Amino acid sequence: MAAGSNAAPLSAVERIERARRLGLAVGRVYLGAKANQMLARGLGPERMRARWSRFHRDSAESIYRTAIELQGLILKGCQYVGARADLMPREWIEVLSKLQDRVPPRELPVVRRVIEGELGRPLEAVFRDFAPRPVASASLAQVHEATLRDGRRVAVKVQYPEVAEQVRGDLANLRALFRAIGWLESDLDLLPLIDEFGRHVPRELDFLAEARNAERVAAMFVARTDVRVPRVHRDWTTRRVLVMEFVDGVKITDRDALQAAGVDLERVMRALVEAWCEQVLVHGFFQADPHPGNLLVERESGRLVLLDFGLAKQLPARFRADSLRFLVGLLRRDADEMAEALLALGFATRDGSRESLASLARAGLGAARDLAEAGSLAPERVERIGREIAEQLRRDPVVRIPSHVVLLGRTLGLLSGVARSLDTSVDPLSVALPYVMGSPAPGIRRS
């Protein structure tokens, strides 16, 4: 295969304009937040709650418009934020989550140029049929249904021609912007977040690496009949074009369609939990982007289908043992033991002490205790816990969170959202417990 590049470098004017638009959007949010913080000194909590709610929605809508306009890395980042209901205010989630399904696709001539440049031959020489409209479009690429010359039905993932150049420029812009914010706010260091993002996103631009990840995860489930990874067609896969077996399925969060097809939702839920338990706790390698668009269920078989392996992670050898140590500390309500486990996992605070992590653990234990006793947390309790944790972080910020923990936390958050959508009686903790203790369910094949 001949590989080519169809991406025209961004001009200096385009790079400056992207930096300007990004700076204006983020600067507007930053200045608005500072204004609200000043007003909070004179306004009551009730008025400030309403004011913060309006501010969050207006800010999110401004960032949403910027993401649609700039696309590339900015859109990818906003999609990530929009999936983090555990971290962001409700207003941000409601607005930015719409980006998951509303990415404007590229036209067929653009797609054709990328494919022909990568494969070194006309589109018709490879595909007997090629759907002009994509079946899915995301921040970095879009997917078309096609048929190979030999009749096999495939999904063709095509990277946008300008996205690699945009990612490089946007990362530089974000670093400069967040460095300036860090200069203004000495207790707010966002550069580690950008560094982490900068390590992961470029990996998603290498479809050969994605192909290897898909094949590795597929090998984990070769003995299972309830989990499937589509086969990669290596002959037609390059760094910017990925050709895989086409699977016709139902989006895992479309509960009505799954029930109409007679799919056993309990079985799907159990397969979902076991699939990630096996990846994380048995093999130590996992697909780190299980959002609903990457999870399908076959109509006839009810089999879980895993898609998109651009973001995957190898866990350190001691990850399982250190995580189990943290869990034991949590169950014992031992903040010092939890802090030791966090240090072993790779967490660090600015002063490097265990006590700072233990203080955070104690705040978390207080919330867990209240939740266990009351079944839910009252808004005023949530607000107080937030203040306690924020105060501790101001005194001694966490300056290092291991990348595998960041990705695993994000993965668990996305899986939790999918589980809520399925709304089954399956208890994920009960399914996961044998894996945590080192004895997965019978029939699970170990590496």
Q: Which of 267, 354, 351, 347 lies closest to 303 in space, CA to CA?
A: 267
* For residues 56-62, average pLDDT: 90
378 — alpha (psi -120 to 50), left (phi > 0) or beta?
Answer: beta
Q: Which of 145, 134, 106, 127 lies closest to 7 in space, CA to CA?
A: 106
DSSP 343-397: HHHT-EETT--HHHHHHHHHHHHHHHHHHHHHSS--HHHHHHHHHHHHHHHHHS-
Q: What value does the mean pLDDT of the chain take? A: 82
Of 31-35, 228-232, 413-417, 439-443, the least confident: 439-443
Q: What is the pLDDT of residue 146?
A: 98
Over the stretch 296-329, which tens digit does the pLDDT of each residue have? 999 989 999 999 999 898 998 888 888 888 878 8
**242 and 319 in contact (C-beta within 8 Å)?**
no
Pairing of strands 295-298, 127-130: unpaired
217 — alpha (psi -120 to 50), left (phi > 0) or beta?
Answer: alpha
Over the stretch 270-299, which tens digit does the pLDDT of each residue have? 999 999 999 998 999 999 888 788 899 999
Confidence at 391, pLDDT banded by 50, 70, 90: low
129 is catalytic: no
Catalytic site residue from 170, 289, 308, 396 = 289
